[in-house]
Amino acid sequence: MSISGQARDTRPLSMLIIALCVMFFLTMTPRAVIFVYNRYRIDTILALWALDPYTALYEYQYLWFLSNVFELVSYFNNTFNFVFYVFSGSKLRTELQSVLCSSATQFNSLLGS
């Protein structure tokens, strides 16, 4: 119960926090898994290098590609956080709109328009 005597509905905030946690888990787990897998796989690739350098190079490039893809997916976490906050918070939307509109006005005044 709040100070004014009215109970606040915290369901939207709870849903936002749950969505952010799920999104964090989905975007960061692959990167953590590939980080652990890289340590194991590099030793195997180095051992393979002595026997077949072309196959070892292919395996290394594939591992490098997977690492980059999962790193890119982890960067989407920041994007999703911003989108979740913008769609869920009216105060943030209002403040963001005022900042962007005032920036455009200041930019136009600098150009002399």
Per-residue pLDDT of the chain (113 residues; tens, 9 = 90+): 455 556 667 777 788 888 889 989 999 999 999 999 998 999 999 999 999 999 999 999 999 999 999 999 998 888 888 888 777 777 777 777 787 787 666 655 655 55
Find the angle CA(77)-CA(79)-CA(82) to the nearest 5 degrees: 110
pLDDT at 91: 75
The residue written with tokens 């989905």 in the block is 26
Report the candidate in 77, 78, 81 with the shortest Cα–Cα distance to residue 89.
Answer: 81
Residues 35, 54: Cα–Cα separation, whole Å: 23
pLDDT at 102: 74
Residue 27: is it exposed, middle or buried by C-beta count within 10 angstroms (0-12/13-18/19+)?
buried
